[in-house]
Amino acid sequence: DQPDLYVYQIAERSNEEIDEMNILRSTMDCFADSIETLVQKMNFPANETYSIVDGKKSPKLTNGVSCRPFVKGDSIVYTVALASIIAKVTRDKIMCDDIHSRYPQYGFDSHYGYSTKEHIEAIHKYGASPVHRMSCKPTKKRPYEVDCKLYDRTFY
């Protein structure tokens, strides 16, 4: 039995925010923002709304909506799988279209920012760009070496 309507809300954090907060807190913040914004936009009654997020932890929601973590939820819960697909496609599109057009030397259109051999080699060759997360191992000791405009939208 599938619902007739699926709605979603996307939340993003910049690479600087992720570096400052860490990836888990950033993810929890995005989960919370998405759930709370969607509940408000759709005018769902908070006390009757229940949310599930993929993983071991759930965000702290301020609007009274119940939320529970579900390990491997994207392989078991249909709506969690849909959310996972939307998140990945959105992130990959940002990396491929927006970020690659600004920093083509890194090859974001082929590795989408994931830690591939080609991506690591580009970081070694060109240094980190302003969109790289400096808390990641390959960039920790590599300052920005690319003269380019800071891009403030990294999706997680």
pLDDT in tens, 33-42: 999 999 999 9
pTM listed for this prediction: 0.81
Q: Which residues contact 64 (CB under 8 A, 6 or more apart)?
A: 46, 47
Among 2-6, 8-12, 111-115, the least confident range: 2-6
pLDDT in tens, 125-149: 998 999 998 887 666 655 544 433 3
